[in-house]
Amino acid sequence: MYELLDEFITYIKDKGSGSEATADSYGRDIRRFIEYLDEKGIDDFSKVEKDTVFDYISELRTGRITRGKITNSTYARNMSSLRSFYRFLCERKICGKNPFLSFKKIHVEKHLPDVLTIDQIRRILDVFNMEDPIEIRNRCIVEIIYACGLRISECCNLKLSNLDRQQMLVRVLGKGNKERLVPYYPALNDILSLYLKEYRSKYADYGFDYLFVSTRRGRISPRSVQLLLEEVRKKAGLEIDIHPHMLRHSFATHLLDNGADLRTVQELLGHENLSTTQLYTHLTFDRLKNAVKKAHPHAK
């Protein structure tokens, strides 16, 4: 049964239907289900009936399986993982039916993303010591994520060959291996030049194409970027949690706040559907309403 899980994970990676993090999440969700089937003495996916799925869902929701209650979004992801897995099994003629199709999808309310103000972005960028090569690298990482609205995986996977510093463009490989071109501002070009000269030239081996290099001469990891942002938050004296995706959210919101149209922001973010990008318009409208409430003489 685990062999089929490995085949499925390879399939979704090859198909490019999700990020590395998505594949990992799907793998954990399905592995948990296989362990449950082992407990019940079921050794074949085709033997899983609707009642088995119902019992599994009940145990999942109560938190017995996960050692703690799960949120609606985690539950919805579990169901999506297993629904997709069984679709794969049915396509391979391993199963004749998908027992998870009998259960309705749960509606998960979308929360507005957290964003940083322009002043907070400035405070973050100002904490770096530009005399220290590692600090130069770290500043470059933070600034390129914000300047280009990158996902953390997109940043870590950037290659030197993806940069066109003359045109000030970055070629980004996003979800589903879809490419997009993102322009950046001249100040980032200066930081990139400094990083390439003061840090990368010393740590990158000849022929190594990844843009951001760790002190161990390998590609920078997403975890390293997360830890770097936590350290930066403390130095900047910000009393909020900061994660890499918040920089991406801030990029989109600041563009819309300053007059960019929704379609342009959609292209820059690499969103397949405009509805995903529209989430930021609600955020912008909320900011406008709050500004009016605070500043308008009749608002009170």
| Residues labelled catalytic | 151, 175, 245, 248, 271, 280
Residue 235 located in a structural domain? yes
Residue with the bigger pLDDT between 189 and 281: it is: 189
What are the respective helix, strand and coil percentages of the chain, to the nearest 5? Answer: 60, 5, 35
Alpha-carbon distances of 16 from 9, 10, 19, 23, 240, rounded to whole Å: 11, 10, 7, 10, 34
Domain CATH number, residue 162: 1.10.443.10
124 and 98 in one domain? no
Total domain count, the chain = 2
Nearest C-alpha neighbor of 146 from the set 245, 279, 281: 245
pLDDT in tens, 149-195: 999 989 999 999 999 999 989 998 887 778 888 898 899 999 999 99
pLDDT in tens, 4-55: 888 888 877 776 655 667 778 888 888 888 888 888 888 888 888 888 888 8
DSSP state string for 208-252: --BSSB-TTSSBPPHHHHHHHHHHHHHHHT--S---HHHHHHHHH
**Average pLDDT of 51-70?**
78
Nearest C-alpha neighbor of 225 from the set 208, 244, 206, 212: 244
β-bridge partners, 159: 210
Is the separation of the CB atoms in 238 and 126 below 8 Å?
A: no
Asked if the model's pLDDT at residue 299 lies above 70, the reply is no
CA 293, 149, 287 angle in degrees (round to 5)? 5
**Average pLDDT of 271-288?**
71
280 and 132 in one domain? yes
pLDDT of res. 225: 92
DSSP symbol at 112? P
Q: Please state which of the ranges 144-158, 235-249, 285-299 shows the lowest mean pLDDT.
A: 285-299
261 and 178 in one domain? yes
81 and 157 in one domain? no
Where a domain ends, among 49, 76, 102? 102
153 and 269 in one domain? yes
Report CA torsion sign: 122, 125, 128, 132: negative
- Owning domain of residue 252: 118-295
Q: What element of type H or E holds 172?
A: strand 169-173
Domain CATH number, residue 48: 1.10.150.130
